[in-house]
Amino acid sequence: MEVYDSEREQLDVLKKWWQQNGKAIVIGSILGIGTLVGWQQWQSGMQESREAASQEYGVLLDNMEKQNLQGVKESGATIMNNFAKTPYAALAALAVAKVNVEEGDTASARTHLQKVVDQKDQPQFQHVARLRLARLVLDEGEAKQALDLVKSVDVAGFASAYDELKGDIHAALGNTAEARSAYERAIAAMDAALDQSIIKMKLDDLGETEVTL
């Protein structure tokens, strides 16, 4: 549908439709214009909401820089409660989860990370949250649950990170062959400009590949 420059242009078109097509089409057109106006108002409201969320996120970042953990949690709660439909809500949840981990409150961290994982409209943040959640679950000794979180996932641009984590999980489970394959895939998928030494160290720690004669 063409977007008109002014309401007068919309009214001019309505008059022509009235003359050509009668009341039935005009009624539908009025509803359509009402939807368009409503959409524009909604867009304006969303822009204001994003700007307010951005300002509050700036406060959160300032608190993080100052190591004001309580301030981070308070700003994060404000963003998540008042601006849940903006991308800043996911960023705030990630930040608060990080604080939770630093404070030893892993249960709250897992809750915040899971909320981001469940947000289908923020795939980039979703991947970050899933990787952090799986890492946290693994660190708490729940390797099988961690593996469930990362298997059968469309890894998009996060292939190396997922494969490295899968290698860590398989290593924890004692699945040496699977761990080795995962680490090798992680190295292959990594940008050549990035430091591969940590993954190579993990690969070396698995020992030599057994040769079957």
Question: 109 with 97: CB under 8 angstroms?
Answer: yes
- What global pTM score does this model have? 0.73
| HSE-CB for 124 with a 13 A CA cutoff | 3
Domain residues for the domain of 72 are 57-142
**Are 81 and 125 part of one and the same domain?**
yes
**Are 68 and 130 part of one and the same domain?**
yes
**Are 164 and 201 part of one and the same domain?**
yes
pLDDT (tens, 9 = 90+) of the chain, 213 residues, equals 333 333 444 444 444 434 544 444 444 444 454 544 443 443 445 566 678 888 899 999 999 899 999 999 999 999 999 998 888 899 999 999 999 999 999 999 999 999 999 988 888 889 999 999 999 999 999 999 999 999 888 887 889 999 999 999 999 999 999 999 999 999 999 888 888 999 999 999 998 665 444
Distances (CA, A) of 45 to 84, 118, 158: 14, 25, 33
Report the alpha-carbon distance of residue 167 to residue 127 in Å, rounded.
17
Look up residue 9 and give its two tokens. Answer: 């242009």
Structural domain includes residue 92: yes
**Are 213 and 178 part of one and the same domain?**
yes
CB-based contacts of 65: which residues, under 8 Å, 6+ apart? Answer: none
Neighbours of 102 (CB within 10 A): 12
